[in-house]
């Protein structure tokens, strides 16, 4: 412990030479806000926080961390739901929020170049003047940053058709854990050679810090059509999703909310959802003629699936309210319980109904309420496990239920995470999903880039 303290002290002395001044935070009051991310069940106070304002400052700080053997964690808005930006004991946090410039937008090549602290939604706002938008749309897109999206390969409601963050990042300028600056990918939407940018996406900060990102932009659709369908149970709604996909349709989004999630949304932002046990949101977009044809087919499929009330709209304001309700669900469950855990396991679409029925059984067996809201189109479940942390053992019981749900996803042929990442929360489940050889390969790859495990130590892979 003494060696760690000495390393940090020497690092702080070296940081003084960078002229960062008051942007090196060390007092308990200054560090309090950085002790956890959106997964508040985990907490760790960093030794210091460095608020950078220029890319070269990131390079300098990482080089000093490497020189003094001090681990570091990059942090944007801190919206990680897996403890991905949790500080490391005896380490520092490099805060990237002030690296928030949109450096360029090229409407001809449909490419934007941004810094990592740019808020997700700001990219689309800047591209709108050119009839373009940035497709990845996590529920936290009003506050989450692009750098964090890249670290965890975020998706969002509309990733069914458009893909995850990795499908829209074509170039990354990154500071590797030893302070070396590397360019991964480039500015072409048709790259050749190894997909180094794709490897970096979703690496949860283990390969370093992105300081510049080249993003693919898409044209704003000519027509958008949104349908709401009510069902008498989650299993029926899940089966409807499978039927829509089996019919050969590819909506831009398919989302499901259960009665608890709808109740929370209504209490929070009042989207005016129809009442029922489960709500399916289906959105189509594309050329006018294509959307009209697909809307007619969708109406037939919804009727055949046993939907009760069905509402449709193409009004932008009505659509915005629908999605505001859906994307506020995580925060809105605060109206239902003081605390919650959220998982994001994945199951095959063909087994959605089975998974939802089993989650209902597990919830009842544990005596813990679960609000379900999820990306139904790609089987990415987001069960919100509600509890009161003031009660003895409540957190432990909630975590046990979360673990049972993750193991269910593995049994059904799915994954322990779709977009939130492994972080610190799900490390123990990696060995249940991957064979020992797979895990060893991951460790070897990490060691090739960062043998000292300085970059986001303890995330995804437990420290050696």
- Kindly report the pTM of this predicted structure: 0.93
Q: What is the DSSP letter of 44?
A: -
Say which residues have a Cβ less than 8 Å from residue 5's Cβ, sequence separation at least 6. Answer: 90
Q: Does the pLDDT value for residue 2 go beyond 60?
A: no
Tell whether 233 and 306 lie within a shared domain: yes
Task: Find the CATH number of the domain harbouring 23.
Answer: 3.30.43.10
Tokens of 268: 């929070």
Please give the tally of structural domains in the chain: 4
Tell whether 84 and 16 lie within a shared domain: yes
C-alpha to C-alpha distance for 262 and 339, rounded to whole angstroms: 18
Tokens of 281: 């949101």
Tell whether 243 and 148 lie within a shared domain: no
Within-domain flag for 428? no
Average pLDDT (71-88) is 96
Give 147-199 pLDDT, tens digit per residue. 999 999 999 999 999 999 999 999 999 999 999 999 999 988 887 889 999 99
C-alpha to C-alpha distance for 353 and 289, rounded to whole angstroms: 32
The percentage of residues in the chain with a pLDDT greater than 90, rounded to a whole number, is 85
Tell whether 243 and 325 lie within a shared domain: yes
Tell whether 215 and 230 lie within a shared domain: no
Q: Does the pLDDT value for residue 13 go beyond 80?
A: yes
Please give the C-alpha separations between residue 73 and each of 37, 166, 291, 359, 423, in angstroms, as whole numbers.
12, 21, 45, 34, 12
Task: Find the CATH number of the domain harbouring 347.
Answer: 3.30.70.2740
Alpha helices in 329-393 (DSSP H): 329-332, 352-366
Its domain, for residue 317, covers 223-331
What is the per-residue pLDDT for 4? 65
Other CB atoms within 10 A of residue 131 CB: 12
Final residue in a domain of this structure, among 41, 76, 95: 95
Task: Find the CATH number of the domain harbouring 306.
Answer: 3.30.70.2190
Please calculate the CA angle 174-175-180 and round it to the nearest 5 degrees.
Answer: 120
pLDDT band of residue 1 (cuts 50, 70, 90) is very low
Specify the DSSP element, H or E, that contains 104: strand 102-106
What is the per-residue pLDDT for 463? 76
Q: Does the pLDDT value for residue 142 go beyond 70?
A: yes
Nearest to 334 by CA among 373, 375, 372, 387: 387
Tell whether 121 and 194 lie within a shared domain: yes
CB-side neighbour CA atoms (13 Å) of 403: 13
C-alpha to C-alpha distance for 463 and 453, rounded to whole angstroms: 8
What is the per-residue pLDDT for 464? 66
- Average model confidence (pLDDT) across the chain: 94
The percentage of residues in the chain with a pLDDT greater than 70, rounded to a whole number, is 99
Final residue in a domain of this structure, among 219, 247, 276: 219
Tell whether 107 and 210 lie within a shared domain: yes
* 181 three-class SS: strand
Say which residues have a Cβ less than 8 Å from residue 117's Cβ, sequence separation at least 6. Answer: 76, 96, 97, 98, 99, 100, 145, 146, 147
Final residue in a domain of this structure, among 62, 95, 128: 95
Q: Which residue has the tokens 């593995």?
A: 410
Within-domain flag for 387? yes
CB-side neighbour CA atoms (13 Å) of 32: 3
Specify the DSSP element, H or E, that contains 210: strand 209-216
What is the per-residue pLDDT for 315? 96
Tell whether 188 and 173 lie within a shared domain: yes
Tell whether 380 and 325 lie within a shared domain: no
For residues 231 and 276, the answer to whether their CB atoms sit within 8 Å is yes
Give 263-300 pLDDT, tens digit per residue. 999 988 999 999 999 999 999 999 999 999 999 999 99
Task: Find the CATH number of the domain harbouring 213.
Answer: 3.30.465.10
Q: Does the pLDDT value for residue 227 go beyond 50?
A: yes
Give 30-79 pLDDT, tens digit per residue. 999 999 999 888 999 999 999 999 999 999 999 999 999 999 999 999 99
Tokens of 421: 């990442």
Tokens of 126: 């800047």
For residues 78 and 38, the answer to whether their CB atoms sit within 8 Å is yes
Q: Which residues pair with 182 in a beta bridge?
A: 174
Please give the C-alpha separations between residue 297 and each of 157, 206, 253, 293, 441, in angstroms, as whole numbers.
21, 45, 16, 7, 46
Give 372-417 pLDDT, tens digit per residue. 999 988 899 999 999 999 999 999 999 999 999 999 999 999 999 9
Between the two ends of the chain, the Cα-to-Cα distance in Å is: 17
Which of 242 and 58 is assigned the larger pLDDT? 58
Tell whether 177 and 157 lie within a shared domain: yes
Within-domain flag for 425? no
Average pLDDT (14-22) is 92
Within-domain flag for 191? yes
Average pLDDT (344-358) is 90
Within-domain flag for 434? no
Tokens of 197: 């940018």
Q: What burial class does residue 316 get, using C-beta atoms within 10 Å of its C-beta: 0-12 exposed, 13-18 middle, 19+ buried?
A: exposed
Give 302-341 pLDDT, tens digit per residue. 999 999 999 999 999 999 999 999 999 888 888 889 999 9
pLDDT band of residue 217 (cuts 50, 70, 90) is very high
Tell whether 90 and 168 lie within a shared domain: no
Other CB atoms within 10 A of residue 399 CB: 15
pLDDT band of residue 352 (cuts 50, 70, 90) is confident
Q: Which residues pair with 216 in a beta bridge?
A: 111
Within-domain flag for 228? yes
Within-domain flag for 458? no
Tell whether 84 and 143 lie within a shared domain: no
CA dihedral 138, 75, 203, 378 (to 10 degrees): -10
Within-domain flag for 173? yes
């Amino acid at each position: 412990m003494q060696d760690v303290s000495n390393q940090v002290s020497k690092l702080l002395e070296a940081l003084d030479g960078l002229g960062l001044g008051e942007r090196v935070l060390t007092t308990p009051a200054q560090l309090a806000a950085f002790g956890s991310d959106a997964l508040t069940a985990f907490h760790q106070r960093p030794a210091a926080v460095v608020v950078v304002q220029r890319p070269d400052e990131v390079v300098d700080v990482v080089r000093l961390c490497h020189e003094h053997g001090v681990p570091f964690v990059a942090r944007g808005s801190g919206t990680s739901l897996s403890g991905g930006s949790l500080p490391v004991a005896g380490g520092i946090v490099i805060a990237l929020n002030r690296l928030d410039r949109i450096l360029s937008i090229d409407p001809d090549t449909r490419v934007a170049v941004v810094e990592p602290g740019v808020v997700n939604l700001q990219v689309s706002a800047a591209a709108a003047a050119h009839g373009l938008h940035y497709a990845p749309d996590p529920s936290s897109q009003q506050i989450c940053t692009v750098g964090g999206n890249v670290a965890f390969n975020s998706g969002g409601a509309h990733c069914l058709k458009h893909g995850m963050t990795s499908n829209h990042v074509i170039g990354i300028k990154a500071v590797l854990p030893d302070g070396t600056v590397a360019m991964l990918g480039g500015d072409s939407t048709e790259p050749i050679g190894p997909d180094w940018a794709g490897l970096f996406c979703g690496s949860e900060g283990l390969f370093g810090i992105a300081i510049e990102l080249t993003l693919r932009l898409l044209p704003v659709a000519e027509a958008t059509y949104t349908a709401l369908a009510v069902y008498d149970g989650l299993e029926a709604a899940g089966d409807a999703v499978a039927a829509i996909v089996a019919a050969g349709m590819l909506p831009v989004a398919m989302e499901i909310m259960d009665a608890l999630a709808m109740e929370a949304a209504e209490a929070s932002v009042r989207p005016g959802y129809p009442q029922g046990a489960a709500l399916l949101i289906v959105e189509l977009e594309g050329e006018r003629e294509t959307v009209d044809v697909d809307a007619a087919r969708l109406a037939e499929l919804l009727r055949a699936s046993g939907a009760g009330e069905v509402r449709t709209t193409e009004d932008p304001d009505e659509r915005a309210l629908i999605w505001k309700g859906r994307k506020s669900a995580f925060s809105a469950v605060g109206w239902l319980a003081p605390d919650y855990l959220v998982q994001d396991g994945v199951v095959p679409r063909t087994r959605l109904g089975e998974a939802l029925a089993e989650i209902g059984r597990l919830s009842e067996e544990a005596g813990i309420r679960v609000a379900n809201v999820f990306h139904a189109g790609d089987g990415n479940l987001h069960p919100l496990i509600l509890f009161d942390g003031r009660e003895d053992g409540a957190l432990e019981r909630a975590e046990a239920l979360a673990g049972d749900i993750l193991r269910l996803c593995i049994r059904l042929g799915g994954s322990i995470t779709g977009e939130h990442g492994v972080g610190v929360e799900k490390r123990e489940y990696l060995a249940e999903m991957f064979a020992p050889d797979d895990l060893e390969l991951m460790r070897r790859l990490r060691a090739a880039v960062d043998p000292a495990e300085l970059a986001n130590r303890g995330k995804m892979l437990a420290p050696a």
